[in-house]
Structure 1
Amino acid sequence: MQRRRFVKAGAGLAVGLPELMRPKVGSRVGGDYPERLRARTARLRRLDDVLGGGDTYRVYLGEYAATKRLLRDTTYTEHTGRALLSVLAEQAQQAGWAAFDGGQHEDATSLYEASREAAVDAGDAELAGNALAFLAYQTVNGDRQAGVDIASRSVDEAGPGAAPGVRALLYERLAWAHAVAGSDTETEQALEAAQTALAEAGSHRQPDWVAWVDQTELQIMAGRCWTELGRPLRAVPVLEAALAQYDDAHARDKSLYLSWLADSYLTAGEVEQAAAVTGRALDLASGVASVRPRQRLTPVLHRLSDYKALPAVAEVLDRTHG
């Protein structure tokens, strides 16, 4: 029932989707078309707020494929072609994210790589950097040093002239890569760079694909980083404060973020509190078409099993076997 509720909410977000007549094969694409297509892409991106990749992947992949056909089958000026390639790079990243969220990692990698190629051809350094940041986020769990290296390249590729929101996003993902690699100092430096960039964002126009990067998001990333580094005294306060402001409607993301809070409570020896937070995360993750909440909660539940004699823990563990 919960999943149906979120699918319905997602359908509501699609209402008012910008009208877009697809150009016919052999026709000429006008100069205003890329921005109309970008507006449609931005609207569809909102589906990711409430739906998992299992629900959105085919939608996003279909948009990407349609733009690829348009680039192949129509004519346009050089300027319009670069703008279309930039939109294509956005669409590939969104489809890649949905594939990653749905557990289709090979598809995600292929789409991120295609996105970077399109962004480079378009001369869009910000999107090229973000494609690398996505690749780093996917890579770091399997190869920590490679993840750090790719995340560092993402910052360099976007460059110091990138919009502040873009720099904040890339630096926070660099912080995450350093945290997974166990590097405290580098993590803190990257978080500070992200905070500095975010402080500039209010006075600059930002790409829509970084609209979700705000102070709450940065607090959550900081808390996640300190959790990964085994620093619960730093992690718990920022996660508690940020998640208190985070709407339950964002069920996938909130369940994920709660898993890090539960992890830090366990590291701090607050087992009952960890069990309570884990229970909330399980409630939110129920029925969401994403593999990631369960992947994140599995090791937390494993750690909790060491305390299964406690009633609060036994109740949560029993729910996972129901």
Structure 2
Amino acid sequence: MTGYVPSTALPSWLLDDARLRAAAQRHDFGTVFRLARRHAGISYSRIAAECDIKPDRVGTLARGQGKVATFEKIVQICDALRIPGRLVGLTDRPWEATPGSGRAGAEVDGTVLRRRFLQAAGLATTMPSILTNPPGRIGQQTVTCLRERTARLRRLDDVLGGGDTFRVYSAEYQATKALLREARYSEATGRALLSVLAEQAQQAGWAAFDGGRESDATSLYEASRVAALDAGDTALVGNALAFLAYQRLGKDRRAGAEIASRSTETIDDGTPASVRALLHERRAWACAVADMPVEAERSLVAANEALAKASEWPQPDWAAWVDRTEVDIMTGRCWTELRRPLRAVTVLERALSQYDDGHARDKALYSSWLAQAYLIAGEAEQAAEVTSRALVLADGVASVRPHKRLQPVLAELSAAKYRTLPAVASVLEQVRG
């Protein structure tokens, strides 16, 4: 690699450009591509060839649509454009000169690169010394450290799929299990550690589910439920049940709705408002899938009522992401599932217009319900346009769910009555390409 200089290598003067450096730092490669073409004359087709990206994907990124979200693709783009690793949070690449040595940097394997990439975001995958070398006795300060670390690591889920995050989250969970087993602590500290363990198990379980490891997800959710029960943390018990219900829906819809109902039964006077909203909206979804429209609507009302009180008290980090937009999206999903497209389209269009493309996986996933709602309403052209945007967003994200959700929509669009429509033909060609 060190002897080859790709035709897409950016000139040094452009690498010093403040706009390009800022774009590289936030992983906005669409802006990088646009600046490369405008100021260095590097065509999108050359960028596509060197980065192993489809030409139309380079163009859509350059227009500000979508985001590069996988570690491997970020590394590949940096190598093709000769963007120094430090600008994007990587270690020095093999083609960079090691400072002061005058020689090419040593080869660094992918594991080390990934670790350095996470470290740059303040999310190092190496365990804190408190986990690798636990003292004889630990207290609440250790629990606070672990809880804050778990919250920081949760931010990875905003931009990466479960295929990229599962190992990180699983390692954290296993390290805390070892700490519980090997260290000495008071009964109160032990309960607090179990609560952290339950939270970490749910985080790892979610990544497993998102990455297509369904059996791992089930095991982790169940382990989380047990740990939360032992900790006396009813909020996390409820969330573990909600996760288990989500998975059960694919096999037995009524059973899934029953488990979701059990999750809301854990709510008491001490349950934080954001957790109440989360459990009610997840029950709403389970009831919609089980074709229980009255119960689904009641749960959506309960979720909105809970959310109205969410600002009164501090909320746990693992539920703090539940906001009005999230509940609106769940509302649209439920009405789509219940085949009420007029209700679904309005709320989904509004909610998705406020959703940042940087959250590529989630926006692609939620867009699939908008596309489905349009199809139910007989609006194939609009369904095709939404599907096209969702496919662009989902490209390169290490999650199985967006493409899995879009497959039935694409299958329906492939029907003879739709496939000759220009917008439909275009999205079908997009898939084939």
Taking structure 2 as the reference length, the TM-score comes to 0.72
Show the counterpart of 2:282.
173
State the match for 2:350 in structure 1: 241
User: Can you give the 5+ residue segments of structure 2 that lack an aligned partner in the other structure?
Assistant: 1-52, 54-67, 75-87, 90-113
Residues 45-101 of structure 1: CA distance to partner in whole angstroms, max 9, x if unpaired?
000011000000000000000000000011011111111000000000000000000
Paired AA for residue 277 in structure 2: A
Summarize the alignment of residues 76-95 of structure 1 with structure 2, pairs less than 5 Å apart.
Answer: 76-95=185-204
- Corresponding letter in the other structure for 2:236: L
The alignment status of 1:20 with 2:128, answered yes or no, reads yes
Instruction: Determine the structure 1 residue equivalent to 2:421.
Output: 310
Aligned to 1:64: 173
What SS is found at the alignment partner of 1:201? coil
Identity %: 63
Amino acid at match of 2:121: V
Question: Which entry has the higher C-alpha Rg, 1 or 2?
Answer: 2
1:321 to 1:81, Cα distance in 2 relative to 1, 3 A: same
Q: Where in structure 2 are the equivalents of 1:26-45 lying within 5 Å? A: 27-45=136-154
Alpha-carbon offset, residue 13 of structure 1: 8.4
Whether the 8 Å contact between 2:381 and 2:424 is mirrored in structure 1 is yes
**Count of residues paired in the alignment:** 322
Cα deviation, residue 210, structure 1 = 0.6
Q: Helix, strand or coil: the match of 2:177?
A: helix
Segments of 5+ residues of structure 1 without an aligned counterpart are none
Give the counterpart letter for 2:421 in structure 1.
Answer: L
Tell me which amino acid in the other structure corresponds to 1:300.
V
Letter in 1 for 2:290: A
Check 1:137–1:160 CA distance in 2 against 1; reply closer, same or farther (3 A cut): farther
What residue number does 1:75 align with?
184
Residue correspondence of structure 1 range 280-295 to structure 2 within 5 A: 280-295=389-404
By relative contact order (CA 8 Å, sep 6+), the higher-ranking structure is 1
Structure 2 residue 137 is matched with structure 1 residue 137? no
**Pair 1:52–1:17, CA change in 2 (3 A):** closer
Say what the alpha-carbon RMSD is for the aligned residues.
Answer: 1.8
Whether the aligned pair in 2 keeps the contact of 1:13 and 1:46 (CA below 8 Å) is no
- 1:151: which partner in 2? 260
Say if 1:262 and 1:275, in contact at 8 Å, map to a contact too: yes
Give the 3-state SS of the residue equivalent to 2:136 in structure 1: coil
Cα distance between partner residues in 1 of 2:413 and 2:152: 40
Post-superposition Cα deviations, 1:261-284, rounded to whole Å, max 9, x if no partner, equal: 000011111111110000000000
Asked if structure 2 preserves the Cα contact closer than 8 Å seen for 1:141 and 1:180, the reply is no
CA displacement, residues 88-122 of structure 1 (integer Å, 9 cap, x when unaligned): 00000000000000111100000000000000000
TM-superposed deviation, 1:14: 6.0
User: For residue 316 of structure 1, what is the amino acid of its counterpart?
Assistant: V
Partner of residue 301 from structure 1, selected from 410, 416, 424: 410
Note if contact 2:260-2:283 (Cα within 8 Å) is conserved in structure 1. yes
User: Displacement, 1:26?
Assistant: 6.1
What letter corresponds to residue 214 of structure 1 in structure 2?
D
Counterpart mapping for 1:255-266 below 5 A = 255-266=364-375
Counterpart residue number, 1:231: 340
Q: Distance in 2 between matches of 1:206 and 1:26?
A: 31
Query: How has the CA–CA distance of structure 1 residues 25 and 43 changed in structure 2, closer, same or farther, with 3 Å as cutoff?
Result: closer
Matched residues in 1 for 2:240 and 2:340: separation? 30
AA aligned opposite 2:383 = A
- Deviation, structure 1 residue 139: 1.0
Instruction: For 2:322, give the aligned amino acid.
Output: V
- Counterpart code for 1:169: L
Provide the C-alpha distance between the structure 1 equivalents of 2:70 and 2:335, rounded to a whole number of angstroms: 35
Shift of 1:123: 0.6
Offset of 1:227 from its aligned partner? 0.4
Q: Which amino acid aligns with 1:196?
A: E
Distance in 1 (CA, whole Å) between partners of 2:328 and 2:407 is: 24
Alpha-carbon shift at residue 183 of structure 1 (Å): 1.2
What is the CA–CA distance in structure 2 between the aligned matches of 1:177 and 1:25, rounded to whole Å?
A: 42
Amino acid across the alignment from 2:208? A
